[in-house]
C-alpha cells in the first residue's frame, strides 16, 4: 500500500484535496506518481490539477490506491463498470470482475451494484482495488427506501458521506438536471435513459420540486472536500438514441454542469463531467468542443459515445469507435461498454472484451494526440512483426493469451512459433520475408547471389 | 438469376461496361437495381458511374450477381476476404465462409486463395455468389511458376483473362508500384507489407525492370473492357506500420494510381483505388482527402485503416475504428479485418466477427454522412428499446442470433422476453420504464393518481 504513508503524513492538514495542495504550489506524492507514469513533468501535473483540467481521484481513506491522472494532458483512460443487480451476480463474482478489469488495463472501476449487499460488495472491491473506485450513490439510497419517491436530500447526503468514509474515490451525482430542463426532454424519442437521471426526474415531478442535490450542492461539496472525493457530474439528460443527440435538454444540462464545476473548484473539490451516450459520429467533435467550452476545461468522461443505436451484441465495438474519436478530440476517460450492453449485465468475458476494445480506442487516441511515448509500443510491435518474433508480438498485444490462442489454433506445432511466416499467407507469399530479403539485397535467385542494399541504392540514384 | 436476361439483351453490343452505357446516357438494369437499393435517383447513379465516382462491378459472365454500387454517393460498403492458403482450408469451407459473409451483410467478397485448387475454389464461389467477387490474380500466377521470379507479364495477363472469362467482377492489380518508388520504401521500419506489392517489387529488383503490369496496362484494360471487370488499383506500397504511414512511397504510388485511373476511364473501364493499411487516426481524414484529390474522385476502398499496430486478436475492432472515420470522410468501401489478422487465416467465426464489426463501422459512416434513410433503422431500434419489444430489438441488430443469445443467457425464462426491464438494471432501476411513466404523466405514487402530460407542460410554462 504505497499510499498509506503519504496519507499519514498529511493527517493534520485542514484540507487534503489534491486540488488544494496544487493550488498551494505543492507537488504531492500522488502527482509525482502519475507524472512518472505519464512521462510528464510533476510541475505540469500540479498546474493542471490546480486549473481543474486534470484530476487525481484519491480518497484519503483509500490507501490501497495507485493514483491515476484523468485529464487532457495525460493518457486517455478507461473505466470499467461492474456491480451486481437485483437479478444477478454475487460479491465474489464482482471482485473477480474487478480482477479481470484491472488485469486487462482498466484505469478506474465503477461499482454500480444495485441489488442487496451493496455496502459489503463495495467494501470488498475497495479493499482489493489498486485502481480508483467510483460509485453512483443514488443506487444505494434507493435500496434504503420502500418507494423511490421517499428519497430525500438528507438520505442522499448520508449515503454519500458513508461511501466517502469507506474510501470511494469518485462519485457520480446527477445534480445538473434542473426543473426547467424537464419539458425539454419530453420532446424526445425515448426520453431519459440515465438511471440516476430518471429517478431524479421522477422525484422532481412527483414532488413538484427542484433537484434535491442541486439545492444541497454546497453540503455535497463539504463532504467531497473532507475526503477528497472527486465529483463526476452525471449527465442525467444524456441522449439515449441518435434521434435525441445534441438536443436542447442535453446542452442545457451541460451548461449547468459547467456552473457546478466552478462551484466545486471554489471549494477545491476535483470534478469531471460525464458525457453521452448515443451520438452520431459527425457530432462527436462538436460534443467535446462544447463540453470544453461550457465546462471550462474540466475533464470529459464519456459513456461511449455510441454512434449507432443498432449494435446490440457488439456495442463494445460501437462504443470503441465513438470513444476513439472523442479521445482524439480531447476526452479524458472512456467508460467501457460491453458486448452485453442493452441486453444484460456484463459477465466476466464481457468485462474482458469491453476493456480491451476501449484500451485499443484510448491508445488510438493517445497516438493521434501524439502523447509522450504513446507510439513506442506500436513501433516495437511492428519490429517484432517484421522479425517474426511471435512471442514478443503476443506480449505487446492488449490480450496476450488471446493473441497466442488465435495464432496457435491454426499453426499448433511449437515449430511455427519461430516460423518466418504465418497461416495467413503461408511461406511462399510472406510479404515480410520478401521485404526483408529486399532490404538485405537478397533479391535475386540464390544462385545469382545477394546484391548488397547500398549497391542497389546507388543504382537507383544513377537512374 | 436476375441478371441473366439483362446480360442476354446486350449480347450484341461492342462495349458492355457500365461506364460505357452511362456515358451513352443509358440507365442499365444494374443502375436501376442499385438506385432502388440505395434510394437514389437512377439518373444520379448513371451520372456518378459516367464520372467514375461510383462503380458497379458486374462482369458480363457473372449472371448470379445482384449488383452493388461502390462510391461516395451510395452507402459505405464492406468487403470480406476469404480464401484458402497452402497451409489451411478447403473448397467446401470457403463456400461456407462466403455463405456466412453474405448472411452477415458482406457487400462484396474477395477470394484470396493462394494454395492449390485456386481455379476450382473460385468457380464454386462465383457460381454460389450473389455478391460481387474480387480476386488478386497474381496469387494464381505465382502458383503456376516454380519460382516467383519466373513470373511474366504474359502469364499475368493470361491469368487475368481466364479469371475475367470465369466471371470475376473486380481484380486487384499492383500496377502502381514503379521502379523509382522502390528506394522510398527502403527507408521504412517494415518495408513492403502488401503480398502483391512485395512479389512485384522482388521481381522488379531481380530483373532490374519496370513493373510488368504497368508496362502492359493497355493490354490489361482491353481485357477489363471486354468483360467489364472493374479494376481495384492495389496499394502495393501501403504502410504496414504507423511509423511508415503517410510517407513518400505511399503518396508517390497514390499519384501513379490517379494517372492509371484516368487511363482506365479513357477506355470506359471502371476503377477504384485501394488504400492503407496502418494509419494514425489523426491522419485518416488527410488520407481520404489526398486520395480524392490525386485520384480524381475514384471510389476509395480501404483496408482498415488500422490506427494502431498493437491490436492483435482484436484487429477487427482496430479496423472498424479507422474504417468508420474513413467512411465518414468519404471512403466508399471498407475491407474487413478479422480478429485473426496478423495471426492467421480467418475461420468461420472470424468471418462473422469481422463482417459485423465493419457493417457497424460502415453504418456509422452512413449515418454521419446523412445518407438517405440511413438512420431509420436506428430510430426503429430506439423505439423498440423504449417499448421493451425485445424481439424487434434482436431483429434490427446486425447479428440477431448473438443479441438473442446474450439477452437470454442472463434472463433465460421466456417471460423475460416480454418483461419491461432487463438484467442490467432490474425492475426497480429501469430508466426506460420510469421515462415512459413520466411522459404518460404517471409520475406520482399510484395513489395520487396520474397527472396528464399536458397539464405538466402547462405547469412548466407558468413557472
pLDDT at position A186 is 86
Q: Do B313 and A398 touch (CB under 8 A)?
A: yes
CB A229 within 8 A of CB A173: no
Query: Based on the domain organization, do A388 and A267 belong to the same domain?
Result: no
pLDDT at position B420 is 63
- Asked if the structure places residue A386 within a domain, the reply is yes
Nearest CA-CA distance, residue B25 and chain A, Å: 35
Q: Which of A320, A344, A368 is the last residue of a domain?
A: A368
State pLDDT tens for residues A367-414: 999 999 999 999 999 999 999 899 999 999 999 999 999 998 866 555
Q: Is the pLDDT of residue A202 over 60?
A: yes
- Asked if the structure places residue A3 within a domain, the reply is no
Query: Based on the domain organization, do B235 and B356 belong to the same domain?
Result: yes
Neighbour count for residue B102 (Cβ, 10 Å): 18
CATH number for the domain spanning A176: value is 3.20.20.540
- Asked if the structure places residue B394 within a domain, the reply is yes
- Domain total in chain B: 2
Identify the domain containing residue A342 by its residue range: 18-368
Q: Do B325 and A281 touch (CB under 8 A)?
A: yes
Q: Which of A306, A341, A368 is the last residue of a domain?
A: A368
Task: Give the CB-side neighbour count of residue B226, counting CA atoms within 13 A.
Answer: 14
- Asked if the structure places residue B11 within a domain, the reply is no
Query: Based on the domain organization, do A140 and A226 belong to the same domain?
Result: yes
This prediction's pTM: 0.94
Query: Based on the domain organization, do A380 and A363 belong to the same domain?
Result: no
Query: Based on the domain organization, do B74 and B170 belong to the same domain?
Result: yes
Report CA B200 to chain centroid distance, whole Å: 25
Q: Do B312 and A381 touch (CB under 8 A)?
A: yes
Range of weakest confidence among A102-106, A214-218, B38-42, B88-92: B88-92
Query: Based on the domain organization, do A416 and A310 belong to the same domain?
Result: no
Query: Based on the domain organization, do B419 and B348 belong to the same domain?
Result: no
Q: d(Cα B299, Cα B286) in Å, to the nearest integer?
A: 16
Percent residues over pLDDT 90 in chain B: 82
- Across A317-352, b (16+ Cβ under 10 Å) vs e yields bbbbbbbbbbbbbbbbbbbbbbbbbbbbbbbeebbb
CB B188 within 8 A of CB B245: no
- Best probe of the A interface among B431, B433, B449, B461, by most A CBs < 10 A, is B431
Query: Based on the domain organization, do A364 and A413 belong to the same domain?
Result: no
Percent residues over pLDDT 90 in chain A: 82
Query: Based on the domain organization, do A236 and A147 belong to the same domain?
Result: yes
State pLDDT tens for residues B329-347: 999 999 999 999 999 888 8
- Asked if the structure places residue A12 within a domain, the reply is no
Instruction: Report the sign of the C-alpha dihedral through residues A243, B366, B79, A351, in that order.
Output: negative
Q: Which of B205, B282, B439 sits opposite A443 (nearest CB)?
A: B205
State pLDDT tens for residues B369-411: 999 999 999 999 999 999 989 999 999 999 999 999 999 886 6
Q: Which of B114, B341, B435 sits opposite A426 (nearest CB)?
A: B114
- Asked if the structure places residue B313 within a domain, the reply is yes
Element (H, E) at B359: helix B348-368
pLDDT at position B449 is 33
Q: Which of B139, B191, B382 sits opposite A243 (nearest CB)?
A: B382
Q: d(Cα B314, Cα A267) in Å, to the nearest integer?
A: 44
ipTM above threshold 0.90: yes
Task: Give the CB-side neighbour count of residue B103, counting CA atoms within 13 A.
Answer: 14
Q: How confident is the model at residue B124 (pLDDT cuts 50, 70, 90)?
A: very high
CB A313 within 8 A of CB B397: yes
pLDDT at position B423 is 60
Overall average pLDDT of the A303-321 stretch: 97
- Asked if the structure places residue A8 within a domain, the reply is no
- Asked if the structure places residue B8 within a domain, the reply is no
Query: Based on the domain organization, do A360 and A396 belong to the same domain?
Result: no
Query: Based on the domain organization, do B182 and B79 belong to the same domain?
Result: yes
Q: How confident is the model at residue B445 (pLDDT cuts 50, 70, 90)?
A: very low
Query: Based on the domain organization, do B417 and B441 belong to the same domain?
Result: yes
Q: Which of B325, B346, B368 is the last residue of a domain?
A: B368
pLDDT at position B375 is 97
**B210 neighbourhood in chain A, CB within 8 Å:** none
pLDDT at position B433 is 75
Amino acid at each position: 500500500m504505497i499510499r498509506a504513508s503519504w496519507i499519514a503524513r498529511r493527517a493534520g492538514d485542514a484540507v487534503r484535496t489534491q486540488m488544494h495542495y496544487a493550488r498551494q504550489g505543492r507537488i504531492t506524492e500522488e502527482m509525482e506518481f502519475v507524472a512518472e507514469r505519464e512521462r510528464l513533468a510533476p510541475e505540469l501535473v500540479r498546474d493542471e490539477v490546480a486549473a481543474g483540467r486534470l484530476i487525481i481521484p484519491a480518497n484519503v481513506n483509500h490507501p490501497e490506491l495507485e493514483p491515476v491522472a484523468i485529464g487532457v494532458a495525460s493518457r486517455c483512460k478507461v473505466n470499467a463498470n461492474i456491480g451486481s443487480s437485483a437479478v444477478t451476480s454475487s460479491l465474489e463474482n464482482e471482485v473477480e470482475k474487478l480482477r479481470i478489469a484491472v488485469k486487462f488495463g482498466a484505469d478506474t472501476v465503477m461499482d454500480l451494484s444495485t441489488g442487496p449487499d451493496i455496502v459489503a460488495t463495495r467494501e470488498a472491491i475497495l479493499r482489493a482495488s489498486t485502481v480508483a473506485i467510483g460509485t453512483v450513490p443514488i443506487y444505494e439510497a434507493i435500496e434504503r427506501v420502500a418507494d423511490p419517491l421517499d428519497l430525500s436530500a438528507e438520505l442522499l447526503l448520508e449515503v454519500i458521506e458513508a461511501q466517502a468514509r469507506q474510501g470511494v474515490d469518485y462519485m457520480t451525482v446527477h445534480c445538473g438536471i434542473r426543473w426547467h430542463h424537464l419539458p425539454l426532454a419530453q420532446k424526445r424519442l425515448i426520453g431519459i435513459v440515465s438511471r440516476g437521471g430518471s429517478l431524479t426526474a421522477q422525484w422532481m415531478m412527483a414532488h413538484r420540486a427542484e433537484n434535491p442535490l442541486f439545492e444541497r450542492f454546497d453540503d455535497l461539496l463539504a463532504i467531497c472536500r473532507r475526503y477528497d472525493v472527486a465529483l463526476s457530474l452525471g449527465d442525467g439528460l444524456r441522449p439515449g438514441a441518435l434521434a435525441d443527440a445534441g438536443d436542447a435538454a442535453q446542452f442545457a444540462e451541460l451548461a449547468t454542469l459547467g456552473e457546478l464545476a466552478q462551484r466545486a473548484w471554489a471549494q477545491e473539490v476535483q470534478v469531471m463531467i460525464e458525457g453521452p451516450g448515443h451520438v452520431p459520429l459527425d457530432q462527436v467533435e462538436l460534443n467535446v468542443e462544447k463540453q470544453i467550452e461550457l465546462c471550462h476545461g474540466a475533464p470529459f468522461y464519456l459513456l461511449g459515445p455510441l454512434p449507432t443505436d443498432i449494435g446490440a451484441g457488439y456495442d463494445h465495438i460501437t462504443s470503441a469507435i465513438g470513444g476513439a474519436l472523442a479521445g482524439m478530440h480531447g476526452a479524458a476517460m472512456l467508460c467501457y461498454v460491453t458486448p452485453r450492453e442493452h441486453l444484460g449485465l456484463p459477465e466476466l468475458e464481457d468485462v474482458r472484451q469491453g476493456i480491451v476494445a476501449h484500451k485499443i480506442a484510448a491508445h488510438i487516441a493517445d497516438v493521434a494526440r501524439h502523447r509522450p511515448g504513446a507510439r513506442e509500443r506500436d513501433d516495437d510491435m511492428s519490429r517484432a512483426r517484421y522479425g517474426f518474433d511471435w512471442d514478443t508480438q503476443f506480449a505487446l498485444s492488449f490480450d496476450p493469451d488471446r493473441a497466442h490462442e488465435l495464432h496457435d489454433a491454426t499453426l499448433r506445432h511449437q515449430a511455427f512459433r519461430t516460423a518466418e511466416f504465418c497461416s495467413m499467407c503461408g511461406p511462399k507469399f510472406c510479404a515480410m520475408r520478401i521485404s526483408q530479403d529486399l532490404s538485405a539485397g537478397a533479391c535475386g535467385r540464390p544462385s545469382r547471389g545477394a546484391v548488397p542494399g547500398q549497391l542497389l541504392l546507388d543504382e537507383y540514384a544513377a537512374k
